[in-house]
Amino acid sequence: MPHRSPDLSLPVLQPNRRALSHASVLADHDAKEKCGVFGVWGRPDAVELSYLGLFAQQHRGQESAGIAVLNDEGIDSVVGMGLVSEVFGEREIDRLNKRPLRGAIGHNRYSTAGGSLACNTQPLVERFHGGQVAIAHNGNLINAALLREKFERQGHLFHTTSDTEVIIHLLASPTQQDLASVGEHEPMRATLRRLQGAFSLVFLFKDRIEAARDPWGWRPLVLGRMPSGEPVVASETVALHVAGAEFLREVEPGEVVRLSDAGIESDRFADPVERPAYCIFEHVYFASPASEVFGQNVQRVRESLGAKLAEEAPVEADWVVPMPDSGRSAANGFARASGLPYREAIVPNRYVGRTFIKPTPEQRRRAVRLKLNVISELVDGKRLVIVDDSIVRGTTTREKMRQIRAAGAKEIHLRISCPPIRHPCYFGVDFATRDQLIANARTVEEIREYLGVDSLAYLSLEGLLSCASHPNEHYCTACYSGDYRLDIDHPIAEGVVTEEQLRMFG
Amino acid sequence: MPHRSPDLSLPVLQPNRRALSHASVLADHDAKEKCGVFGVWGRPDAVELSYLGLFAQQHRGQESAGIAVLNDEGIDSVVGMGLVSEVFGEREIDRLNKRPLRGAIGHNRYSTAGGSLACNTQPLVERFHGGQVAIAHNGNLINAALLREKFERQGHLFHTTSDTEVIIHLLASPTQQDLASVGEHEPMRATLRRLQGAFSLVFLFKDRIEAARDPWGWRPLVLGRMPSGEPVVASETVALHVAGAEFLREVEPGEVVRLSDAGIESDRFADPVERPAYCIFEHVYFASPASEVFGQNVQRVRESLGAKLAEEAPVEADWVVPMPDSGRSAANGFARASGLPYREAIVPNRYVGRTFIKPTPEQRRRAVRLKLNVISELVDGKRLVIVDDSIVRGTTTREKMRQIRAAGAKEIHLRISCPPIRHPCYFGVDFATRDQLIANARTVEEIREYLGVDSLAYLSLEGLLSCASHPNEHYCTACYSGDYRLDIDHPIAEGVVTEEQLRMFG
Amino acid sequence: MPHRSPDLSLPVLQPNRRALSHASVLADHDAKEKCGVFGVWGRPDAVELSYLGLFAQQHRGQESAGIAVLNDEGIDSVVGMGLVSEVFGEREIDRLNKRPLRGAIGHNRYSTAGGSLACNTQPLVERFHGGQVAIAHNGNLINAALLREKFERQGHLFHTTSDTEVIIHLLASPTQQDLASVGEHEPMRATLRRLQGAFSLVFLFKDRIEAARDPWGWRPLVLGRMPSGEPVVASETVALHVAGAEFLREVEPGEVVRLSDAGIESDRFADPVERPAYCIFEHVYFASPASEVFGQNVQRVRESLGAKLAEEAPVEADWVVPMPDSGRSAANGFARASGLPYREAIVPNRYVGRTFIKPTPEQRRRAVRLKLNVISELVDGKRLVIVDDSIVRGTTTREKMRQIRAAGAKEIHLRISCPPIRHPCYFGVDFATRDQLIANARTVEEIREYLGVDSLAYLSLEGLLSCASHPNEHYCTACYSGDYRLDIDHPIAEGVVTEEQLRMFG
Amino acid sequence: MPHRSPDLSLPVLQPNRRALSHASVLADHDAKEKCGVFGVWGRPDAVELSYLGLFAQQHRGQESAGIAVLNDEGIDSVVGMGLVSEVFGEREIDRLNKRPLRGAIGHNRYSTAGGSLACNTQPLVERFHGGQVAIAHNGNLINAALLREKFERQGHLFHTTSDTEVIIHLLASPTQQDLASVGEHEPMRATLRRLQGAFSLVFLFKDRIEAARDPWGWRPLVLGRMPSGEPVVASETVALHVAGAEFLREVEPGEVVRLSDAGIESDRFADPVERPAYCIFEHVYFASPASEVFGQNVQRVRESLGAKLAEEAPVEADWVVPMPDSGRSAANGFARASGLPYREAIVPNRYVGRTFIKPTPEQRRRAVRLKLNVISELVDGKRLVIVDDSIVRGTTTREKMRQIRAAGAKEIHLRISCPPIRHPCYFGVDFATRDQLIANARTVEEIREYLGVDSLAYLSLEGLLSCASHPNEHYCTACYSGDYRLDIDHPIAEGVVTEEQLRMFG
């Protein structure tokens, strides 16, 4: 690993302030991203491996998928709307499989309601003075709009509305060389230092892949190695596993890693921060139960959440029923801790994909019935503990509760394995706007009434953090607590940070 | 309900003989079907309801899907290869939605390896002297080849290779009228009486739907009613539920039911047989856990199978792990009965659909990894009871066991919630050929060795039947026992049954 | 050529009667066909050759296209709606190209307004007692409905609404053998003798192709030979030419030809009729100008029609302008005969294909402008002779005349190179219904007024026939004269012909 | 029209030099474009009108098509590979038809062999500081590579390889404002003044369309007006006509025209040049015969070329035969001038579209046969004058001559209605590379021998120019003469022109 320059500072200001009127900054840019990234270097089967990796990370984004490859003619890519299996057929795979392949990167993108644009699919591929570059991004930059405005004023063109495009403009900027005076030797490090927010990035250049993780470590990013030694990078360990790679270690916060014929080389673009901001929601809901995230297996964390919940909010009941598939791990933990029998009384339809069903209320009722079948023989006349992982808007949960009641449940005790989600996330998870969050302006009792259940309990924030292995203050819990780690109201465009700024950082 | 003619006989000969060389009869006809049927009469939203019904029954067949509707211009249909959601987009739905709609029937068809032909998709729509008719079939006729040959000799044309097409030829036959002398008053009853084998049929005519179930009751077929009274028929109760219909009752073996503007009218085309042949495999694997089949909730039956298995084949272990998703119900039952902890240590990938992956050994390994992720944190160094519902060929199971071992399992005790499958099914389930069945010529110990597990136990046939509510002899268990209820070697083309034949039955 | 049985009679009754109320017979069967057929035996490139042949005959039908091939597994086919180039992509060609290929037949089908059904595309492929057969048909059977009704009464099923399907039912009929007593030795000859109307047929069997032409010879059908000797059959010589085959001769009226490994064998299923009924409209409009049809090059015939028209209906004008592309040949003949200059003042848009344009009046105006651009620099202030081949409904012609007038034409003298079309065709050309024919109930003067031209003249029937080389009475001119050669009101179902019937035949 | 600034200079250097090694500059950018542009402002049916306009200009480019529209949400676009009718189905039209529509522009792009990239389809849509802009370009910029390199050095990103993208970078450049000192008041004028080469451009902004034509007037660009007054711009008058618009006038060389709610406003970005460079090949081949181009109807010009050719290269023959469809106009002129009869002995297949045929020699022979059918009845034993418009590579012409000979022609006298094409075009017509041009290094006698004809004559350059109405020196004839009007070897990146440069111009 190259030497580390002694006092790299970080572009962070005024942490811990509540976001009040962020809309103006985010308005016309699609800032809501919840994605997966993947990269592999030096494998002739780079396309297949990327496909497998994206497949394994499909839970991180179902809106679009894309793979960019490097061969002798340069970078080519196929991106499209839909699931990995929908975007990539034999023709697409064949097109990418022009030998000799040197490397490939891939991207899954989350489906956000309405504002999804085909031009925003990733990897983005651009041509600039340094040649071609492809980029895949998981996270969200809070100073993207400011940087973009600056570039536009300088005459730069944009052809997407994504925050990711500014990263390439930064990278292509000739003024990067001027930064040498403040200690930066490479455009990449200078670029990364100017980004504020959450980012796990994978770049494909003509001779290498580079992978970087923001200094707070919001999103996971892991390194692996194929049995024959070639390096792999992915959002989650499950993608390494499916691609047949061994998990080496996490990319550290503030680290940029180069994957090339020389193997894996590490560099830092920023000092480690004192207080990382690992997204606790990755553990609660987002990551695969099969992955190791922030040093813990996700499935085991979720079982612990259920057990903790049983301890915090016990209830007399006939049996514990998981809300499939998201609540199963916690329900299992709850059942074991409480000693109540575990029964799968709600059966999901495995084949539900896209349907033509229109979003009328009657149709929504049908859609829920289509997805979940309540087994009345197991529910009728029973007192049930229903365990789920979280409630966002509440509308679907209410419909589910109605169906359980209609199947004859005598009592419904709903248990949620995390605290109420009261605040939007600006760091890579697209919940909803503040107003759409059911817990934003309602008490738990009000929510219980709205859902029509006999009792409702959420896991406490302390309970949640007690199941996580890092110190409590090393997690971002903003969606529960409103405690944002970066000032989302006043992001700064330029990341050349002053002493003062440094001091403000926690 | 119309009067029942007193002594309807049944076209059954020489039961209980083992099939030895059936290949010649079945050779060039795709006799292997495992399907779902649906029908609804008198609803303007018949297309949507059929779509929902097929969706809910998608587990009964993923090869093709089709809906036929009746409007003022006659019968129109859309059928296609693939899942319901793939075949039916907005355009297809719009095309079928030509008002006024009077009724609709639908069909899911199971994917059989290789021999699937687009011309065999259902519902079949034909024109004959009586006008148009559409038909959807779940089951398998063992005298189809003989009947077909007879028709071909008479100059009839066929345009599919399906056994279902002969049913319409029978129905169209003018000689049906000649059957009046032996007591048949309608072509439909005469037609049904000439069929040997398993059939749950739904017909769409210009003024009605007719639904019939073979006298042995091999496959389920149930009646329901929409809140506003319109009649619905489906393979499983889960389809009624998803369509918003109330479950009324099963169509009885030997019954034919007419759904029309007059409501539901019942008739019999054959006397009830003394020994029904309910397919026990519907309970073990095939039906939805949310359905009530042959009078029992499937999920509860499967939990009982697991509990019984724990009783028959106990083992000391750290925890019980279900093979998702098929083994979950039985694993839960096993865990509760044994007192061992239940842990979900194998995580399925919910998004696995069609992949471009080629069937090389290396690729198959990847495909299994893609579908199932073993959580090594939960497996490493542990003694595991793995519970699954059945083993057919064994190749995939072996690969799964390998991956569990690779994740560090100390001991693997595989428990299967039904007996070894040793015989092919000729009544509507497409397992494989006899030679492909791993249990066909191997002992349990040989299978254990092949799979590489520390112990292997199957549920006994007695154990299996003890969990089912009907008398033991009312189930078809041929795949386990070889005890075929119809002579699959010597089916008879003509079902005009003699007294003698009647006596041979039962 | 095998011996000819001495007095084969023909199933024809009451010729020369006007059709008055044919609608009832044709009502629900799509009897309007104007198609092309093709077949080649013994070539490994049979698919490519068929593709070329269909391409060359695309003018005979643009609604659908299909190719059926024979390989070791039997007959496979690809048929679809649209042009040959739209139906057949690489995937379709690859699918058909399963070696070893033995033969192939193909079909182009004409687009009829509205009633086109996907199930009617050809070649039809059916399975019957004799195995598989594929059939391609150009023409129209007037006793199809009667035959079909008879078959339906016998319990046969139909799955198209096409008249062609009855031919296979006839062929499959076991009663064909009974015909031996009246001198028929083969089902094929018996089948063909029972057909009334126009038919040029190509059959594909497992060991041969058979090609037959009705005894009146309504539609063309020609034999060719590849340089290496393999036999080819097609509707038109242009298809032979494009496929690289040499034109041998026409299939004679009443002849059935067998193409097999033994080369070309000829047989007759009917005696030659005294008065053939060659469709004169093939010369006027339908056939390719590059083809030799009924012994004459079509282009030369059309030039003669123009010259004859100039003689019959001369006019003083500045120049002769062809209506592209259909009127060009006749306009050239007109110009040379009249000595007037020939100017291409109307330019067609070569790229006009399907458009999304809706059939509103304003849109129709645009559609005509889209297809034809009048060059006002060549038209303004001029006296024009506009030459076209025919007028069917008149609506499009009127719009064209309007545009020529709008471009400044001083005088428009419209000359049509055939007589007014006053009667529907029941023998393979789909003009329109009687009521839609502008000339049906209008005088030429009334038509002139409707079209808004200064003068209008049609070629006389005598003039038309004078350009054709066969005796006048050897052409079917029913669309002009109403002189139908078969009784379209009373077709007979069974073609076993009596002496009496024979005598009635012209 | 706004005032004209008195001495606008033009960025032109060293005219009349031959291009020798241009490859290096053009190497990796697809500089070969032959396209059509269209725009309409203020019409609610702007999408339909654009569709009609592109349809009418389909001859100018068949590789891709696109339409960009302006509605209240900004600019949206649909672009795709293929013909207008292939790219735009109902769904695409519906998507663009989001009311209220304010304006639309469209583009047809020519198919160049191999190097076509989906990312190069137009209209290009970009976002910059001024908002969104869409652009459609017909022509070719010779300083695009230099400008692009400069921008890339400044850190700009490109996502196409098209020369058109630099125009938007220029437009977005904030340094445009600095140009005020040399008399430019608007970024648009400054941008246009920096472009060297051929360009007819249409821009869509949020409040207007702007249309500009290069100072030499290489490519046509015309203004029109709908009956209700809304302004339209198009490459050719035929597009105006088809859209229902009246032809007003050409956009003048050096003029930029603004189409907005205020109607049509004109401005100049450059003084008119003394010697325009109207592309003579538009008259010979490229433009529609129905259009008025550079003040003349194209069809009439082509007829004159044929007449002139008859005068320059008379021959005794039986008749004059046009090579369809390109040679028809000139053949007609030749026939009238020579007094020889005009016969259409070669018949094109109207339905030839894309075919799966592979480019083997045998396949090419078939492809030619597929496209053109020689009528041997009209050719056999005859002395023919074959008239065509031009010969580029010669391979297809040779195959055509072979087929005419094979059909029995006694003598073939080939007459070409323009001089030999010896030099590549760098101003918007994609002939081929220099080496591929058959006339590049061959004498007419050598070409005659290669083609296998009895005599060959080209129209002289003087003859060609004598048919055109502008002075001879106002046409670009570089493809015939090598007399390039701009220095294609040393284009300059920056168009701020010196006095010296001005003097060097024309």
The pair of three-digit structure tokens given for residue D104, joined into one six-digit string: 């639309």
Q: Residue C321: is its pLDDT beyond 90?
A: yes
Q: How far apart are CA A504 and CA A496, in angstroms?
A: 14
Q: How close does chain C come to D294, measured CA to CA in Å?
A: 14
Of the two residues D19 and D72, the one the predictor is more confident about is D72
- Pick from D325, D350, D378: which is nearest to C300 by CB? D378
DSSP 3-state assignment of B434? helix
Instruction: Give C59's contacts in chain D (Cβ within 8 Å).
Output: 350-351
Q: Residue D358 carries which DSSP code?
A: -
Are A350 and B325 an interchain contact pair (Cβ–Cβ within 8 Å)? Answer: yes
* Closest CA of chain A from D204, distance in Å: 15
Cβ separation A244–B378 shorter than 8 A: no
C81–chain B Cβ distance below 8 A for any pair: no
Mean pLDDT for the stretch of residues C142-163: 89
In the beta sheet, which residues pair with residue B234? B38, B222
Q: Which residues lie closer than 8 Å to A235 by C-beta, 6 or more apart?
A: A35, A36, A37, A38, A57, A60, A138, A200, A219, A220, A221, A222
Instruction: Classify the C-alpha dihedral A369-A372-A375-A378 as positive or negative.
Output: negative
pLDDT of residue B51: 94
Lookup: tokens for C158: 């139909």
Per-residue model confidence as pLDDT tens digits over A296-341: 999 999 999 999 999 999 999 999 999 998 899 999 999 999 999 9
Neighboring chain C residues of B155 at a CB cutoff of 8 Å? 128-129, 156, 169, 172-175
Query: What residue has token string 């007294």?
Result: B499
Instruction: Decide if C347 contacts D290 (C-beta within 8 A).
Output: yes
Interface test with A, best of D91, D127, D132 (most A CBs within 10 A): D127
Asked if C132 has any chain B CB less than 8 Å from its own CB, the reply is: no
Place of tokens 């960025």: D11
Q: Which of B29, B72, B127, B167 has the highest number of chain C CBs within 10 A, making it the mutation to test binding with C?
A: B127
Give the H or E element holding residue B452: none
Instruction: Measure in Å the smallest separation between the Cα of C83 and chain D Cα atoms.
Output: 8
Tell me whether B270 touches chain A (CB under 8 Å).
no
A109-113, A155-159, C90-94: which is most confident: A155-159
Rounded distance between C-alpha atoms, residue A56 and residue B348, angstroms:
10
Contact B463, B309 (CB under 8 A): yes
The predicted pLDDT at position C26 comes to: 25
The 10s digit of each residue's pLDDT in A260-276 is 999 999 999 998 788 99
Task: Determine the residue of chain A that is closest to D150 in CA distance.
Answer: A129
> To probe the interface with D, which of C48, C347, C364, C368 has the most D CB atoms within 10 Å?
C347
pLDDT of residue D354: 52
For the segment B100-134, what is each residue's pLDDT rounded down to a tens digit? 999 999 999 875 433 445 567 899 999 988 889 99
HSE toward the beta carbon, residue C468, CA cutoff 13 A: 24
Out of A125, A158, A174, the one facing D154 most closely (by C-beta) is A174
Residue A31 has pLDDT above 70, yes or no: no
Task: Give the model confidence (pLDDT) of C401-421 as tens digits.
Answer: 999 999 999 999 999 999 999
Put simply, the answer to whether C351 touches D93 (Cβ < 8 Å) is: no
Give the largest CA-CA distance in chain A. 75
Q: d(Cα D9, Cα D17) in Å, to the nearest integer?
A: 21
C98: alpha, beta or left? (left if phi > 0; alpha if psi -120 to 50)? beta
CB contact at 8 A, D198 and D218: yes
Round to whole Å and give the CA distance between B55 and B230: 20
Place D5 in a pLDDT band, splitting at 50, 70 and 90: very low
Nearest CA to CA, how far is B319 from chain A (Å)?
12
β-strands B64-71, B74-81 pairing: antiparallel
Mark yes or no for CB contact D158/A125 under 8 Å.
Answer: no
Find the range with the poorest average confidence among A35-39, B410-414, D96-100. Answer: D96-100
Contact B238 A373 (CB under 8 A): yes
C378 at interface of D, judged by CB pairs closer than 8 A: yes
Q: Identify all chain C residues contacting B161, using CB atoms and an 8 Å cutoff.
A: 127
Rounded mean pLDDT, D245-255: 97
Residue of chain A with shortest Cα separation from B325: A350
Q: Which of A120, A113, A158, A142 is nearest to A218 (CA)?
A: A142
Query: By C-alpha distance, which of A267, A271, A273 is closest to A185?
Result: A267
The long-range contacts involving C442-448, CB below 8 angstroms and separated by at least 24 positions, are C444/C420, C447/C391, C447/C394, C447/C420, C448/C414
Phi and psi angles of residue A159, each rounded to the nearest 5 degrees, phi first:
-120, 10
Q: Does A155 contact D175 at a Cβ distance shorter than 8 Å? A: yes
- C429 vs C198: CA distance, rounded Å: 10
- pLDDT greater than 90 at residue D218: yes
Report cis status (omega within 30 of 0) of the bond before B325. yes
Listing DSSP states for D148-198 in one string gives HHHHHHTT--B----TTHHHHHHHH-GGGGGGGGGT--SHHHHHHHT--EE
Tokens of D480: 């015939």
**SS3 label, residue C281:** helix
Q: Which of A58, A241, A288 sits opposite B369 (nearest CB)?
A: A241
More confident residue, B134 or D183: B134
- Is residue A180 within 8 angstroms of chain B, CB to CB? no
Contacts of A128 in chain D (CB under 8 A): 152, 155-158
Distance from CA of D58 to the nearest CA of C (A): 7
Closest CB to D153: pick one of A153, A169, A174. A174
For the record, the structure tokens of D154 come out as 């400044």
Does D118 lie at the interface with A, CB-CB under 8 angstroms? no
pLDDT, mean over chain A = 84
Q: Which residues of B167-189 are buried (b: 16+ CB within 10 A; e: fewer)?
A: bbbbbbbeebeebeeeebebbbb
pLDDT of residue D175: 62
Q: Do B288 and A89 lie within an 8 Å CB cutoff? A: no
Give the ipTM. 0.85
H/E stretch holding D304 = helix D298-312
Among residues 31-60 of chain D, which lie with CB inside 8 Å of chain C?
48, 51-52, 55-56, 58-59
CB contact under 8 A, B174 and C154: yes
Q: Which residues contact C74 (CB under 8 A, 6 or more apart)?
A: C131, C132, C206
With an 8 Å Cβ cutoff, are C351 and D85 in contact?
yes
Round to whole Å and give the CA distance between B132 and B129: 8
Most confident of A108-122, A351-365, D145-159: D145-159
User: Six-digit token pair at A293?
Assistant: 């995230």
Q: Classify burial at A428, counting beta carbons within 10 Å of its beta carbon; exposed 0-12, middle 13-18, buried 19 or more.
A: buried
Closest CA to C429 of C481, C477, C359, C487: C477
Over pLDDT 70: what percentage of chain D?
84
Flag if A299 and B351 touch (Cβ within 8 Å): no
- Going A450 to A453 to A455 to A458, the CA torsion angle's sign is negative
Q: Which chains touch A (3 or more CB pairs under 8 A)?
A: B, D
**Residue B504: strand, helix, or coil:** helix
Q: Does B336 touch chain A (CB under 8 A)?
A: yes
Tell me which residue of D127, D186, D181, D188 sits closest to A155, measured CA to CA.
D127
Amino acid, res. C151: F
User: Mean pLDDT over residues B420-432, rounded?
Assistant: 86
Q: Is C467 a catalytic residue?
A: no
C328 neighbourhood in chain D, CB within 8 Å:
344
> In Å, how far is B369's CA from the nearest CA of chain A?
5
Distance CA D297, CA B35 (A): 68
The more confident residue out of B315 and B92 is B315
Quote the DSSP letter at residue D17.
P
Whether residue B447 is predicted with pLDDT greater than 90 in this model: the reply is: yes
* Furthest CA-CA distance within chain C: 74
Which residues neighbour A270 within 8 Å (Cβ) at sequence distance 6 or greater? Answer: A8, A9, A10, A192, A193, A215, A254
Contact: A373, B288; criterion CB under 8 Å: yes
A156 lies within 8 A of chain D by CB: yes
Neighbours of chain B (3+ CB pairs under 8 A): A, C
* A125–chain D Cβ distance below 8 A for any pair: yes
Q: Which residue has the higher pLDDT, D231 or D497?
A: D231
| Residues of D with catalytic function | 35
Residue A49 has pLDDT above 50, yes or no: yes
Give the neighbours of chain D: at least 3 Cβ pairs within 8 Å.
Answer: A, C
Asked if A302 contacts A289 with a C-beta cutoff of 8 angstroms, the reply is yes
pLDDT in tens, D384-399: 999 999 999 898 899 9
Q: Across residues A180-203, what is the average pLDDT?
A: 79
Residue A11: the pLDDT is 29
Q: Across the interface, which of A155, A159, A169 has its CB nearest the CB of D159? A: A159
Structure tokens at D453: 């004809």
Give me chain D's average pLDDT, please: 85
Q: Which chain A residues are within 8 Å of B62, Cβ to Cβ?
A: 351
Q: Do C85 and D347 touch (CB under 8 A)?
A: no
Q: Does D304 touch chain C if contact means CB atoms closer than 8 Å?
A: no
**Residues 6+ away with beta carbon under 8 Å from B318:** B340, B341, B382, B383, B384
Give the orientation angle of helix D395-406 with respect to helix D361-371, to 10 degrees.
70
What are the DSSP E strand ranges found in C280-431?
292-293, 296-297, 319-322, 346-348, 372-374, 383-388, 411-416
By the 10 Å C-beta count (0-12 exposed, 13-18 middle, 19+ buried), B274 is classed as exposed
Interface test with B, best of A351, A379, A389 (most B CBs within 10 A): A351
- Interatomic CA distance for residues B229 and A6, integer angstroms: 79
| C-alpha span between D275 and D472 (Å, rounded) | 10
Token digits for B226? 């929409």
Greatest alpha-carbon span in chain B: 74
Label each residue of A100-151 as H, E or C. Answer: CCCEEEEEEECCCCCCCCHHHCCCEEEEECCEEEEEEEEEEECCHHHHHHHH
User: Is D422's pLDDT higher than 70?
Assistant: yes
Q: Is C353 exposed, middle or buried (0-12, 13-18, 19+ CB in 10 A)?
A: middle
Helix ranges (DSSP H) in B295-380 = 298-312, 328-338, 361-371, 376-379
Closest Cβ–Cβ partner in A152, A158, A169 for D155: A169
The span from the CA of C13 to the CA of B474, in Å, is 65
